[in-house]
Structure 1
């Protein structure tokens, strides 16, 4: 006697194997575009930086953006990250900043909205600002990664083990770390 239960009827029918459907996460579809920041981006840049706990004013950001060396990461035309930079004079022998004509591009910490962390945006912003420095004939790219002076002898090793995301990104890009009167300075010859 045949069972009239639906599950048994379904199981007894021969099913054709359907090809598995591939779904793509929205993050795979989103494309990041790195663009130079302009005066029209200042208000949005300030919002992004404040969301990332930077204490800045629109006027401060405007002053840096007007120097023409700052970039932003845009996803679907929305600013999601800010990488400010400007020209400085850096002495690699004394690890100090001096008066005079700029020979380096200074990289401020990147402000990246939390939802966009871990997508390589920090590295893209660092690379773009290094490229800008090279095009302008600068010798170095420089960043102050920490205002405190650690006691560790081997800074690069210490940064790799317990450094922040910016420090780790700079290590991967070949920066050297040194203690200075300003804290920990990361620098690279361009």
Structure 2
């Protein structure tokens, strides 16, 4: 992983550009005035992958230096979890059987081929590989990141574990900085549902010397 210092530099440049040329973050349809950018740094802490994103607001609104820390499995931990549950990655034969099962389920042959082709393309580009279920189906990680940023299937973390992971990720990327306020009210107030920590995330201000 590249240095978080370099990542912060990129975020800082983006923030300047957004301030000069755009709104930073605003969604006139939903009314959201704050949101997290795409992850710019990723850190592995044991079995957990921590994705770090800067939280930005409309250019007319000032918020404290805030980041979102989101948690998912590392690809190795996800594979170990699957093996422990008796699941395996699909073979060529499994893909053929899966396509035949789609046709048997009244999906047209051409449509089934398109579905399998799409899923096999996804298999090649994701590090969280699909598994063959006990019913013979092929299943991908059912996460909220669209398969692009991570995998959270079956992951459960206590609040204490989330805070420990946040501090560990910050120590790996910006050791001179520390966690400030968790769920800063000024930031949460800009989002209708509240821009705050969830079951697999921490939103916090960052204090650096």
Q: TM-score, normalised by structure 1?
A: 0.28
Q: TM-score, normalised by structure 2?
A: 0.26
Greater percentage in strand: 1
